[in-house]
Amino acid sequence: MNEKRKNHRLPIDIKLTIESLYKQGENKIENVKDEIQVVDISKGGIAFEVNDDLPLGFYFNSRIIIDEEKNFFSVLKIIRKVEIEEGYHYGCEFVGLANVLSDSIDIYEKEISEC
């Protein structure tokens, strides 16, 4: 099967927390406390797994920490959700990720391809 995504997915093992979800014209969802396990990253976004049932089309602020030197802040939009055995698998896209920040992902891709 041919890959249809614009950006190559890279496996990654990092954790995130979401303090609140928001969407224009709707109330915030506060105190999303479940630990989020990020499973892959690309220049386009991230995929993660979590127990919580989160709504599609909502946004959240995140800090992506690849390592001590490569980290950045971004807004992510939840665009895809699949129910899995232990919760949900989500796909999110970066909203307004600056090119200089996406360079961190390029460097990470180069590093893991050399391993």
Q: Give per-residue pLDDT as tens, 2-30.
A: 455 567 788 888 878 788 889 887 778 88
DSSP 22: B
| C-alpha to C-alpha distance for 68 and 70, rounded to whole angstroms | 6
Residue 92 is encoded by which pair of tokens?
Answer: 């999110």
| C-alpha to C-alpha distance for 26 and 90, rounded to whole angstroms | 21
CB–CB of 38/10 below 8 Å? no
Give the pLDDT confidence score for residue 46 in this predicted structure.
92
Consecutive 10-residue runs of the chain (115 residues): their mean pLDDT? Answer: 64 82 82 82 90 92 79 88 95 79 74 77
User: H/E element holding 77?
Assistant: strand 71-84
Which fold would CATH assign to domain 10-113? Thrombin, subunit H (2.40.10)
Residue 10 is encoded by which pair of tokens?
Answer: 């890279």
Residue 52 is encoded by which pair of tokens?
Answer: 């919580």
Give the pLDDT confidence score for residue 5 in this predicted structure.
58
Give the pLDDT confidence score for residue 2 in this predicted structure.
47
